[in-house]
């Protein structure tokens, strides 16, 4: 099950549960997802953070000399992807549309552009760290 924060064309915000992301898409296309306030079927998903289980996230302290998993992830991303900075949304869309060859990228974008990428099916995700390129 997945819970989405949704909003309608009249900016009414609400939440609803779906069996899967595909289930939301199927029901939405069939006009079966409606705003509980006004009844419109013009409903879209909102950008939202994943729900995390705090118990599952608990980890033992690092031993001396161990690298934190987020630091390890940051190094992996920076070693294997191109930093595109504020051009992230433009680059991701161009690759998705076939206008540029696909490659691993990371960078920055605003919430509005990130939401549009997600709505258009462009595979993106937020990074749980600040890239070194941005912090220098």
Domain boundaries, the chain: 2-45, 66-135
Quick check: pTM over 0.85?
A: no
The answer to whether 18 and 2 have CB atoms below 8 angstroms apart is yes
pLDDT tens digits, 113-135:
998 998 899 989 888 888 786 55
The answer to whether 77 and 106 have CB atoms below 8 angstroms apart is yes
Residue 59 confidence (pLDDT):
65
């Amino acid at each position: 099950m997945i819970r989405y924060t949704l909003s309608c064309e009249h900016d009414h915000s609400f939440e609803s549960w779906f069996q899967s992301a595909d289930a939301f898409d199927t029901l939405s296309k069939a006009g079966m997802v409606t705003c509980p306030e006004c009844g419109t079927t013009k409903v879209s998903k909102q950008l939202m953070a994943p729900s995390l289980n705090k118990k599952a996230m608990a980890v033992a302290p690092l031993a001396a000399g161990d690298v934190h998993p987020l630091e390890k992830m940051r190094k992996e991303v920076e070693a294997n992807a191109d930093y595109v900075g504020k051009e992230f949304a433009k680059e991701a869309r161009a690759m998705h549309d076939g206008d540029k060859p696909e490659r691993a990228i990371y960078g920055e974008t605003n919430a509005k552009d990130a939401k549009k990428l997600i709505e258009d099916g462009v595979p993106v995700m937020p990074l749980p760290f600040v890239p070194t390129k941005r912090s220098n």
